[in-house]
């Protein structure tokens, strides 16, 4: 849709949003009318270098040609059926994901928080069926983030964060342990514990990678205590960290894995994968979804996943991530650069994050902010050295002004 086709200006659009929409976002002050590869374009055709990637969604590039073609082709056949008939896109995507990741079964959802809700529900139901009692307790990490619906929000270990304030009481059965501290998690295991749920890299927590020792320790702890290990890879999944999924870079495997964001290339789709044994916890009527596994979304996802793997964008993420991180460490006022692949957090030595974010926008580069001092970079994984150099020069110029 183009503004000119509807006789609207950019200011008209902003006014309509202000008048009619419940707006909880700090908006970029421009109307995005087109997007392609590494750029978003406003109504004037001005290009913005995209280092937020739709929040880690557009990993194969904005409007990837293969994804666009898959959507166009499927829309003409079947848009939506619910989950009673079989559809080819569902079946082919299930095979692709399960064989690629080494899991037996998949369950589709529409968003990241729904995938995490499904993972929580599956773990609790499995506990009841395996142990014959309501083993409901799940340990998650402080400063983690798992979504904004009640189960996922309750699993989020940020009680003082805006995502929980005003919405309490939270769903019972969750406690929070210190990330990267195995003994903190061990100390919270009780006879009612069924699972441990973590992100391999805490995204909203400030881009904090797990140490190999910590995740391997969690795997051993879960095996020792008969618990399920749940990994939230909504943000880290599908080549973002330099591996197809982040868990693969740690040499361990979770029992249930959630995914979303990059999985759909811009279309709303998410999923959990698990073993055949654990999957038996979900029976007819125990869980469901209207839009999960939508034919168009599955077609888009199959094209997106095929692109990510076929072009080795995990390898590119690792290469470009290392290249860019080394340059970023030379920026003034930077305390630390951390992350894996192309999930990078730049922590400044003072609360200047908003100034950096706005400064980048003024120079037509889009980044995201965590808290008041961490700039998060999550660009499309088609990034080149030229793109890295352009981003670095903008960040350098902005950083030198604070």
The number of distinct structural domains making up the chain is 1
| Domain-located, residue 58 | no
Residue-range definition of the domain harbouring residue 199? 86-310
Residue of 390, 387, 398 whose CA lies nearest to 62: 387
In a domain, 254, yes or no: yes
pLDDT at residue 100, rounded to an integer: 98
In a domain, 362, yes or no: no
Q: Do 239 and 215 contact (CB within 8 A), yes or no?
A: no
Q: What is the structure's pLDDT at 14?
A: 95
Identify whether 245 is part of a domain.
yes
In a domain, 1, yes or no: no
Q: Whole-angstrom Cα distance, residue 104 to residue 387? A: 39
Query: Is there a domain that residue 380 lies in?
Result: no
pLDDT at position 161 is 84
Domain assignment of residue 237, yes or no: yes
Q: How far apart are CA 153 and CA 113, in angstroms?
A: 8
Give the model's pLDDT for residue 26: 87
Confidence (pLDDT) at 162: 85
* Ranges of residues in the chain whose predicted pLDDT is under 70: none
Q: pLDDT value at position 159?
A: 86
Cβ atoms of 201 and 208 within 8 Å: the answer is: yes
The length of the chain is: 402
Please give the Cα distance from 134 to 128 (Å, whole number). 5
CATH number of the domain that residue 291 is part of:
3.40.640.10
What residues contact 76, with CB distance under 8 A and at least 6 apart? Answer: none
For residue 50, being part of any structural domain is answered with no
**DSSP code per residue over 104-164:** SEEEEESSHHHHHHHHHHHHHHHHHHHHSS---EEEEEBT----SSHHHHHHSB-TTSTTT
- In tens, the pLDDT along 307-353 reads 999 999 999 999 999 999 999 999 999 999 999 999 999 999 999 99
Directed axis angle between helix 88-101 and helix 295-310, to 10°?
A: 40
């Amino acid at each position: 849709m183009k503004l000119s086709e509807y006789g609207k200006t950019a200011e008209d659009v902003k006014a309509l949003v202000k008048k009619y929409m419940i707006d909880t976002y700090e908006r970029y002050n421009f109307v995005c009318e087109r997007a392609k590869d590494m750029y978003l374009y406003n109504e004037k055709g001005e290009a913005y270098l995209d280092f937020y990637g739709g929040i880690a969604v557009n990993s194969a590039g904005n409007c990837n040609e293969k994804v666009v073609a898959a959507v166009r082709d499927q829309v003409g056949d079947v848009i939506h059926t619910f989950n009673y008939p079989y559809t080819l896109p569902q079946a082919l995507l299930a095979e692709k994901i399960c064989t690629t990741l080494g899991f037996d079964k998949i369950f589709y959802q529409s968003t990241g928080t729904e995938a995490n809700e499904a993972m929580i529900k599956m773990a609790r139901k499995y506990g009841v069926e395996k142990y014959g009692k309501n083993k409901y307790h799940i340990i998650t990490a402080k400063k983690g983030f798992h979504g904004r619906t009640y189960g996922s929000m309750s699993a989020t270990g940020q009680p003082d964060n805006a995502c929980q304030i005003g919405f309490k009481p939270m769903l019972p059965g969750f406690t929070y342990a210190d990330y990267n501290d195995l003994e903190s998690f061990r100390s919270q295991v009780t006879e009612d514990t069924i699972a441990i749920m973590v992100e391999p890299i805490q995204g909203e927590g400030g881009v904090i990678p797990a140490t190999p020792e910590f995740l391997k320790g969690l795997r051993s702890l879960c095996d020792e205590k008969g618990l399920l290990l749940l990994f939230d890879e909504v943000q880290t999944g599908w080549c973002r960290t330099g591996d197809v999924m982040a868990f693969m870079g740690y040499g361990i495997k979770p029992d249930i894995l959630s995914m979303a964001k990059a999985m759909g290339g811009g279309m709303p789709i998410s999923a959990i994968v698990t073993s055949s044994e654990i999957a038996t916890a979900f029976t007819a009527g125990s869980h469901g979804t209207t839009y999960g596994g939508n034919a168009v979304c599955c077609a888009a996802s199959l094209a997106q996943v095929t692109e990510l793997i076929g072009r080795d964008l995990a390898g590119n993420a690792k290469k470009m991530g290392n290249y860019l991180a080394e340059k970023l460490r030379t920026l003034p006022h930077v305390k630390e650069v951390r992350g894996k692949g192309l999930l990078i957090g730049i922590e400044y030595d003072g609360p200047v994050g908003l100034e950096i974010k706005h400064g980048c926008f003024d120079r037509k580069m889009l980044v995201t902010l965590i808290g008041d001092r961490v700039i998060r970079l999550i660009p499309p994984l088609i990034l080149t050295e030229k793109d890295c150099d352009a981003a670095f020069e903008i960040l350098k110029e902005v950083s030198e002004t604070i």
